[in-house]
Chain A
Amino acid sequence: DQQVKQNSPSLSVQEGRISILNCDYTNSMFDYFLWYKKYPAEGPTFLISISSIKDKNEDGRFTVFLNKSAKHLSLHIVPSQPGDSAVYFCAASATPLIQGAQKLVFGQGTRLTINP
């Protein structure tokens, strides 16, 4: 039972254009969502996050949109640059009732390739 799904294993985008990566989730208890970027032979690097009380969060070229009714979030990168070529993971967690660690549930990842 995959609670977080990234249905596109790969995406190819022209440099300068917009990249849109999608993520769906099934668990309605999830209230914190993150995007991580991963280069080969490195660990995931935090990119941007959003709480369920918002529907949009922006940080420079990166914007995350959350549609709670559809249980869907997306990451927009504009303009796309060659250095953005990486695997992107969507992750979600449910805030524990008592303060504690967040147990992240990850999607399978989408490999983004930016073509010059």
Chain B
Amino acid sequence: NAGVTQTPKFRILKIGQSMTLQCAQDMNHNYMYWYRQDPGMGLKLIYYSVGAGITDKGEVPNGYNVSRSTTEDFPLRLELAAPSQTSVYFCASSPYRAQNQPQHFGDGTRLSIL
């Protein structure tokens, strides 16, 4: 069982370039999330989705876009990369339950914008 898979693991971009960070989960989870972690800081929520076709902004959405066409995939798009987007990006998922459930994380994508 692969869980949450993120690709690529590392990427260097030039300022102004665009790219898509991929995230896939095989646990049939309804909820999916994107976080970023800056050095010495906690994770901050960028976007989340409660199901296919439904997405919403988190705490730090500026400069990013998401889509959710299937239950399994939740890609994160950077349109015009800026140095401030240098960070480690984590994707997570959790199941739909009546009670609170922990989120399961992928291993992250380390992104540098130069």
Is there a chain A Cβ closer than 8 Å to B58's Cβ?
yes
- Residues A43 and B106 in contact in the complex (CB < 8 Å), given A32-B100, A100-B50, A101-B48: yes
By a CB distance below 8 angstroms, the chain B residues around A99 are: 96, 98
Q: Chain A contacts of B100 at CB under 8 A? A: 32, 49, 51, 93, 95, 102
In the bound complex, do residue B31 and residue A101 qualify as a contact, i.e. CB atoms below 8 Å apart?
Answer: yes
Q: What is the distance, in angstroms, from A94's C-beta to the closest C-beta of chain B?
A: 10
**A97 on the B face (CB < 8 A):** no
A50 to chain B, nearest CB (A): 10
B-side interface size class: 20 to 34
Q: Which of B75-107 contact A (CB under 8 A)?
A: 90, 92, 94, 96, 98, 100-107
Residues 86-100 of A, flagged 1 when their CB comes within 8 A of B and 0 if not, give 000101010100011
Binds B, one of A62-70, A72-80, A105-113: A105-113
Q: Are A102 and B43 in contact (CB under 8 A)?
A: no
Known: A32-B100, A44-B90, A95-B100. A4 touches B42 (CB 8 A): yes
Cβ-defined partner of B48 (8 Å) among A4, A46, A49, A103: A103
Cα–Cα, bound, A45→B31 (Å): 17
21 sampled A-B residue pairs with Cβ under 8 A:
A4-B42, A32-B100, A34-B102, A36-B105, A43-B4, A43-B90, A45-B105, A46-B103, A89-B43, A95-B100, A101-B31, A101-B49, A101-B50, A101-B56, A101-B94, A104-B43, A104-B103, A105-B42, A106-B44, A108-B40, A108-B42
